[in-house]
Each structure stands twice: as C-alpha cells, then as structure tokens.
Chain A
Amino acid sequence: MQVPILKQGRYLIATIQAALSDEDLLQLRSTLLDRVVHFRSRGVVVDVTALDVMDSFATRTLRDITYMIRLRGADTVIVGIQPEVAFAMVQLGLTLEGVATALDLEEGLAHLEQRARLNP
C-alpha cells in the first residue's frame, strides 16, 4: 500500500489511506526522506486519520521519520490521530515525545506556517 505524497509549495503532505504493514511504514520513511531532500522541503504533514491501529512499530517509525526530517532542518506534524487510537497508544505506554501533532491537515499546515515565521 503506497502512501501518496503531495507537494504543496515548501511542504509535503503524506496521506495514509489504509492500514499499513511494517514494510509499508519503512517504505514511507525512506520515500519521505528522499522527497524532503529532493524538494528542499521545509515541512511535512503526515495524515494518519485512516490508521485504525498505531502499535509500537508504527509509533516508533513515525517518531523516527520526524527525527530524521528534523536533521534535514525541516519540521514534521502528525495529524489526525483518532481518539480511540490515542487511547490505545496511551494504554500501551506509547508516546510521541518531541513530535508535533495537530487535529487535522489544516491545523498541521498552520503549525508549519507558524514554525516558518519563527525560523525564517
């Protein structure tokens, strides 16, 4: 299951559309990093609205993606974590420390804009 990545100006938007296997998640990690380098992107939004489970592997991979992209000087925002998914993550003891999250795509992009204004 390929995750479509859309370029919108200085930002990239990756929209997960169905359940992802571990392999799909690792694929997303490398493709996103390639695209960030290729387009010299300043920020990335990863939309996880369609994910009905975020287990330890998915959480760790999303955190890795954020850290790797940060080393490129760009910001990442994870948007759309479903309330029951958030509940399960907390019960499982998973955290997204140091990772920006937002309600939806619109708020995610607003967060990136705000970050860009602070670090022009």
Chain B
Amino acid sequence: MPEDIRVAIRSNLDIVTARHEGRGLSIRIGFSATDATLIATAISELARNIVSYAREGEILLRVLNPGDLRGIMIVSRDSGPGIASIDDAMRDGFSTSGGLGLGLPGVRRLMDEFLIKSEPGEGTTVCVTKWLR
C-alpha cells in the first residue's frame, strides 16, 4: 500500500501541488479520470480554505484498503481560528471571506464521506473519503 503523502500548505502554490499529488495518487490506485478530477477539486477547495482562513496547515492523502474496498482519504488540518458555527459553514452560500461560500457543502457533494471537527481557536480538521466502485 502506498505511503501517506503529506503536503504542507502555506501559499497558493501549495494548493496546486496538493491537488496534483491527489490526482496522481487517485489515478495510481484505479480511480477514473472523472473521479480523480472530483478528488483533485475537493483537495483544491480544502487547501484553499487553509490558505484563506488559517494561513498554514497540511493536506494528508492516504490510501484506504479495508477488505475488498479501496479508497482515498484526504485530511485537511490547520490550527487556524476554527469555525464558530459548522452548521452555517455547511450551508450553501455562506461565507465569511467574501468567497462563494460553496467550499464545504461542495466538497461534501464531491466525496462519499465527510467529517469535520472544529472549535473556535483550536483549528479545523476536515476528513473526506472517496471509495472506488
């Protein structure tokens, strides 16, 4: 099983690196070009949230292989200001940075599983998974 890939996110150039790594890994483990694009787009949104809200953080890419299943897990982690209301952040159109406000609900639609953990002042961790079918 391939090793985890960690991409430090500090600038908008790292966003490009993270989604490039994510696409590459997705293709290597058998995802179609379409799914690899969905995964790369989700990574792009998560990495951008780090740059916009927390300034720095990390994207971790991991291949999952429980039983006959195979998938990719992406964990976006930062120690930024955190999210005051996850309910608000998960609503389409909500934004506190003048963006489109589509980041998180959109990412949830692109992936199969979505988990978020955030406390004001404690940073934010988002964990998303897509399974190969």
Contact B34 A87 (CB under 8 A): yes
**C-alpha spacing A19/B19, complex, angstroms:** 10
Closest CB-CB distance, A55 to chain B, in whole Å?
4
Give A65-90 as 1s and 0s: 1 = Cβ < 8 Å from B's Cβ atoms: 00000000000000000111101110
Q: By CB atoms of chain B within 10 A, which of A19, A23, A53, A87 has the most?
A: A53
How many inter-chain contacts with C-beta < 8 Å in the A-B complex?
78
Q: Does the CB pair B23–A94 fall under 8 Å?
A: no
Does A88 lie within 8 Å of B100, measured CB to CB?
Answer: no
Q: Which of B1-59 contact A (CB under 8 A)?
A: 12-13, 15-16, 19-20, 23, 33-34, 36-38, 40-41, 44-45, 48
A98 contacts B by Cβ under 8 Å: no
Query: Is A115 positioned at the interface, with any CB of B under 8 Å from its CB?
Result: no
Residues in B with CB closer than 8 Å to A52 are 23, 37, 40
Residue of A nearest to B105 (CB): A93
Known pairs A56-B48, A56-B99, A94-B102; A88 contacts B38 (CB<8 A): yes
A107 to chain B, nearest CB (A): 23
Q: How far in angstroms is the closest Cβ of chain A from B116?
A: 17
**Contact mask for chain B residues 84-106; partner A; CB cutoff 8 A; 1 contact, 0 none:** 00000000100000011011011
Instruction: Count chain B residues whose beta carbon lies closer than 8 angstroms to a beta carbon of A.
Output: 27
Interface of A is mostly: helix
Contact with B along A31-63 (1 / 0, CB 8 A): 000000000000000000000111111011000
Residues on B with beta carbons closer than 8 Å to the beta carbon of A92: 41, 45, 102, 106-107, 109-110
Contact A53 B41 (CB under 8 A): yes
CB distance from B25 to the nearest CB of A (A): 14
Name A19's closest neighbour in chain B (CB-CB): B16
Using A19-B20, A87-B37 as known contacts, say yes or no to A56 and B13 having CB atoms under 8 A apart. Answer: no
Taking a contact as CB atoms under 8 Å apart, the answer to whether B105 and A53 are in contact is no
A positions within 8 Å CB-CB of B: 19-23, 52-57, 59-60, 82-85, 87-89, 91-94
3 A-B pairs closest in CB distance:
A92-B106, A22-B12, A55-B44
